[in-house]
Amino acid sequence: MHSLAEKIQQQDMRALARAITLIENDDPDKLNLMSDIFSVGKKAHHIGITGSPGAGKSSLINRLLTHLRAQDLTVAVIAVDPTSPFSGGSLLGDRTRMNQHFLDPGIFIRSMATRGSLGGLARATKDAIRVCDAYGFDIVLVETVGVGQSELDIMKVVDTTGLVLTPNSGDVLQIFKAGIMEIADLFIINKADLPGVVRLKATLEEYMMIAQPKGWHPLIVKTISTENKGMNELWNGMEQHRNYLYETKQGEERRLKQLELEVYELIREEIWRDVQSTIDSDQEKAEQLRDPEADPYQLAKDWYGAWKGDS
């Protein structure tokens, strides 16, 4: 077994942090580590919190952490932040909002950059979740950047997805257009002390009547994170959804679909790494990329064919 996997199983926090860094840096030893990590997973509840910027996701998670720790549950938080297209770095602001939990040994907080991931969620996010699971946390919370496709991608890596909305924010129109409503297991109306809550709740209920969701019927929970209200109802809803996943055929089918998607994604990642390495090592191909008149479609076709060994 990989030495880091052994230390993580023994709940070595430093080893946990090192393993996630290794994953983020796409270390050549990553697949060996993750294979060993997979065999010692403890089946934590993986929860995603997503929604538009400004919806209060970080503040909500901060309050939820306090609620969960009062029940003696251990929690890992993975906050996925947007990446600068220039420096490759990220703001990592969620650590500031959750600083009151830093010294709690039952909580682990790690910010991760998207690093250019097209969907807004780093591929490393799923692996980081698995590492935290193997460590033995009861719950792994993932907060997305809340831009573009990240809301859709979150459903591929967690068990339960909570979509955070706020009254009179205009979010509903946008999420209807993007199809994000379909991935929510819970609708969380945060800032529920603002006007427009009744209208937003009615809109969500109308949506579900039209959509006629099969199997799980998404719950609607109202919270006011600034006043620490609604946390018990929120957690109860998340537990209800997890029970559904493990007690019904629909839940089993969902988990198997996630596994299928993950296998395909890992294969794509390995193929791309090999293709890129082949291209980068060929000086002639590098020169072709410096030609502003180069046909990208023909180059892609030719280079992929050469990688496959086509004549």
Domain tally for the chain? 3
The pLDDT value given to residue 85:
43
C-alpha to C-alpha distance for 94 and 113, rounded to whole angstroms: 12
Q: pLDDT truncated to tens, each residue of the chain (311 aa)? A: 789 999 999 999 999 999 999 988 878 888 889 989 988 777 899 999 988 777 888 889 999 999 999 999 999 999 886 554 444 444 444 455 566 777 788 999 988 875 544 444 556 888 899 999 999 999 999 988 665 555 567 777 889 999 898 887 665 666 565 566 677 899 999 999 998 899 889 888 888 887 766 778 889 999 999 899 999 999 999 999 999 988 888 778 887 888 888 888 888 878 887 888 888 888 888 788 888 888 988 988 888 888 887 65
Is 257 a domain residue? no
Q: Are 101 and 229 part of one and the same domain?
A: yes
Is 239 a domain residue? yes
Q: Are 239 and 298 part of one and the same domain?
A: no
Question: What is the CATH classification number for the domain harbouring 237?
Answer: 3.40.50.300
Is 252 a domain residue? no
Is 13 a domain residue? yes
The pLDDT value given to residue 177:
53
Q: Are 89 and 216 part of one and the same domain?
A: yes
The pLDDT value given to residue 45:
94
The pLDDT value given to residue 68:
96
Domain boundary residue among 206, 222, 247?
247
Is 128 a domain residue? yes
The pLDDT value given to residue 278:
81
Is 255 a domain residue? no
Residue numbers of the domain that contains 105: 41-247
Q: Are 142 and 242 part of one and the same domain?
A: yes
Domain boundary residue among 220, 247, 274?
247
The secondary structure of the chain, three-state, reads: CCHHHHHHHCCCHHHHHHHHHHHHCCCCCHHHHHHHHHCCCCCCEEEEEEECCCCCHHHHHHHHHHHHHHCCCCEEEEEEECECCCCCCECCCHHHHCHHHCCCCCEEEEEEECCCCCCCCCCHHHHHHHHHHHHCCCEEEEECCCCCCHHHHHHHCCCEEEEEECCCCCHHHHHHHHCHHHHCCEEEECCCCCCCHHHHHHHHHHHHHHHCCCCCCCEEEECEHHHCECHHHHHHHHHHHHHHHHHCHHHHHHHHHHHHHHHHHHHHHHHHHHHHHHHHCCHHHHHHCCCCCCCHHHHHHHHHHHHHCCC
Q: Are 291 and 145 part of one and the same domain?
A: no
The pLDDT value given to residue 174:
60
Q: Are 113 and 66 part of one and the same domain?
A: yes
Domain boundary residue among 219, 247, 275?
247
The pLDDT value given to residue 86:
42
| Paired residues of 47 in beta bridges | 141, 160
Q: Are 22 and 47 part of one and the same domain?
A: no
Is 93 a domain residue? yes
Is 237 a domain residue? yes
The pLDDT value given to residue 118:
41
Q: Are 97 and 212 part of one and the same domain?
A: yes
Q: Are 66 and 147 part of one and the same domain?
A: yes
Contacts of 225 (CB under 8 A, 6+ apart): 56, 59, 60, 62, 63, 190, 191
Nearest to 98 by CA among 139, 59, 147: 59
C-alpha to C-alpha distance for 229 and 55, rounded to whole angstroms: 15
Q: Are 24 and 59 part of one and the same domain?
A: no
Q: Are 18 and 103 part of one and the same domain?
A: no
| pTM for the whole structure | 0.83
Q: Are 24 and 73 part of one and the same domain?
A: no
The pLDDT value given to residue 120:
41
The pLDDT value given to residue 65:
94
Quick one: CA dihedral 29, 102, 239, 175, positive or negative? negative
